[in-house]
Structure 1
Amino acid sequence: MEDEFPKKRNIRPTEKSNLPIVTLLVLVVLVLAMLYVGYEYISDSSSNSEELTSVVVDSTAEAAAAEPITDEPAAEPIKSDEDTETEKPKEAEKDEPKKEEKPAISAASIGGEQITHTVKSGETFSSIASRYNLKTETLQGLNSSVSEIKSGVTKLKVQVKAVHTVGPGDILRVVAGKYGVTKEAIMKANGKSKDISERGEKLIIPFPDRK
């Protein structure tokens, strides 16, 4: 005989778990976070590209503004009065002919003895050179520092063959024969108009050939 009241079977207690809800919330949070990060990245990249574009455009515009292109020729710099004054002497120097420099001649290259001649009225380099049987160039070379001669002031260096002191019996013809020159050359060098010489007188003996 079966029991009137049958025994109840052991029923498994139902367990309530919150794990699926938590997992879902975490996934939702992660998705939101990823969306937020992606939005920030996209917005930053777009802003950076705009800045670069603006910088390139601005630099190009500045460069174009700094160097304007014109067909007009560049204006010449205005010269001051000082510049024109400094240029004038240069032009004057070009126009002026260069003065010929007299080549210096040494007394040793000619030989003989050197005397000093004081310039007299009316005398020139040419007349003085002819008096002592010298070339004009030779006399000027001996006096290269002298550019202008003045009567009674200028003293010129002159090369002669010798200076002879007149002794007993020294007439001009004898003295001329002794040095191999003409009597007339001695008279001309000493400014004599007569064939006369005095004892003790110093006679200038010019070169027999023009130096």
Structure 2
Amino acid sequence: MEDEFPKKRNIRPTEKSNLPIVTLLVLVLLVLAMLYVGYEYISDSSSSSEELTSVVVDSTVEQTATEPISDEPAPSSEETAEETKPEPVKEKVEEPKKEEKPAISASSVGGEQITHTVQSGETFSSIASRYNLKTETLQGLNSSVSDVKAGTTKLKIQVKAVHTVGPGDVLRVVAGKYGVTKEALMKANGKTRDFSERGEKLIIPFPDKK
């Protein structure tokens, strides 16, 4: 006979699970995290929009945009200054007058005056040296002559004397008589050798340069 009260079967104890609670907490945290991220995003976008609106428009950019663009470079300050400078008034430059050679009188030099016809290759300097004169003295005696030309120009020459050769008048004797050297006597008369003829007129130069 079976027991009136049958034995109770072993009932599996119910275990309380914490899984739903954990899941709920995770969801709540995710929602909070999403809210936080969304708030940060909204605040960043609002600040960036404020920065964009607070940018001051540079007026110089608008001015340069309105100015016409040209390939030619702008004139420098120096060029503009040169353009504005008034043209200088050109003063008439007077040509320097040719210095006139001071005239020298024959009496101030002394001696006798002869006339010399310029030969080819001769100059004031060479002619003055021939007659033992300074170049300035010769030019002063001929102040009206500016240039010498062979065969056509005749110059006034002052010499100590003009001697006519007589018997026994050799060049050495004539030179000693007037106190000049024989070489100076030959040079004044254009002689290349020690010879003179009777009746010949010899030009006696000054012993010292006049």
Counting matched residue pairs gives 122
Aligned counterpart, 1:112: 111
Aligned counterpart, 1:129: 128
Deviation of the 1:161 alpha carbon: 0.1
Map 1:34-53 → 2, pairs under 5 A? none
2-structure distance, mates of 1:208, 1:97: 39
Q: Deviations over 1:133-179 (max 9, x none)?
A: 00000000000011111110000000000000000000000000100
**Percent identity over the alignment?**
85
TM-score w.r.t. the length of structure 1 is 0.56
Deviation of the 1:97 alpha carbon: 2.4
2-structure distance, mates of 1:117, 1:104: 18
**Which one has a bigger Cα radius of gyration?**
2
Q: Which amino acid aligns with 2:179?
A: G
1-structure distance, mates of 2:133, 2:92: 40
Task: Give the secondary-structure state (helix, strand or coil) at the position aligned to 1:141.
Answer: helix
Q: Deviations over 1:45-95 (max 9, x none)?
A: xxxxxxxxxxxxxxxxxxxxxxxxxxxxxxxxxxxxxxxxxxx9x825x1x
Deviation of the 1:114 alpha carbon: 0.1
Gaps of 5+ in 1: 1-87
| Higher relative helix content | 1
Aligned counterpart, 1:184: 183
Q: Deviations over 1:4-26 (max 9, x none)?
A: xxxxxxxxxxxxxxxxxxxxxxx
Aligned counterpart, 2:159: 160
Aligned counterpart, 1:143: 142
- Name segments (4+ residues, structure 1) moved above 6 Å: none
CA RMSD of aligned residues (A): 1.6
TM-score w.r.t. the length of structure 2 is 0.56
Q: Deviations over 1:98-126 (max 9, x none)?
A: 21110000000111000000000110000
2-structure distance, mates of 1:203, 1:128: 16
Q: Which amino acid aligns with 1:149?
A: V
1-structure distance, mates of 2:109, 2:148: 23
